[in-house]
Amino acid sequence: MPDEKIVIGADTKHPLDGMLTIPPDVSGPVPAVVMVHGSGPSNMDGQVGKNHPLKDFAEGLSEKGIAVLRYDKRTFIYGKEMKNDKGLSVKEETIEDAILAANLLRYEPRIDADKIFIMGHSMGGMLAPRIDAEGGNFAGIIILAGSPRTLEEIMMDQNNTVLKSLNRFVKWIAKKQVAALASKFENIYNLSDEEAKDTFVFGKNLRAYYFKEMGEHPSQMYLRDLNKPVFILQGDKDVQSSVEKDFNGYKNLMGDHSNVTFKLYPNLNHLFMPSIYGDILKAQKEYKVPQKVDKQVINDISNWILAV
């Protein structure tokens, strides 16, 4: 695949290296996808352990005639300086760059400006409807292993799952830590923005404001009235997003919307790769095994895009 190096936000304070993968033998303008990473610092390939899901998607979709733009996440390159920003929110971390990426594609003559899609993975999927509403203006939204819940709900859920598996002595200590975290989360929305900026929720990195700002812009708010095409996908062995609370949560919210397509994949994990352990405690071990994104997922996404 012809990979072309590009820069997102070249004239901003945070330029980011990116890659535009263009289908071979492009004759007319082609549809394109902007890929948005999950939580935490991440490179343009979306590397997790020995896996590179965003790169797999870029290569797979471009073979089907769809251009793909991916780029390093801002916290991956500028994380050290961003840590000190009291007002850090998903806006600076993710949203602004995804909108810059979409605008960059709009001025690319080989791209069909009316067929630019956003494809968000995990937290990128949670944010995709907001990115669209705040300036992305996409032709359609693809949500991979996202969630309609708040970030703190998901984190508490994951903590409680881990808690259940601990031995009695460790559980007693961990229970107190999880309870302390829960009470911090419960208080977030009672804080003013200024108070939230001065309150740490985790160590000396994550401040309450990050959660408050995100929680005050829930994806449900954007999805409810959305009438553009939406494709929601998840693996049924995903231990980070819950089929019951996340995939079915989207269904409860939008199941009667004719513009929304849902697909659940048997035996695929959070990266849309074959599940090995299906256990949240072994997620890191699972991601150390090099695998590829399942071909069926790539086929389904490309068919969906080409049919829009």
Would you please indicate which residues are annotated as catalytic (active-site) residues? 122, 238, 270
Residues 6+ apart with CB under 8 A from 50: 287, 288, 289, 290
Q: Give me the sign of the Cα torsion angle 183, 185, 188, 190.
A: negative
Q: CA–CA separation, 30 vs 34, rounded Å? A: 13
Buried b / exposed e across 16-30, counting CB within 10 Å, b at 16+?
bebbbbbbeeeeeeb
* Contact predicate 194/209, CB 8 Å: no
Distance CA 82, CA 308 (A): 38
Radius of gyration of the chain (CA): 19
CA–CA separation, 116 vs 97, rounded Å? 15
d(CA 18, CA 4): 8
Locate the DSSP E strands across the chain.
Answer: 3-8, 16-21, 30-36, 67-71, 111-121, 140-144, 200-202, 206-207, 230-235, 260-265
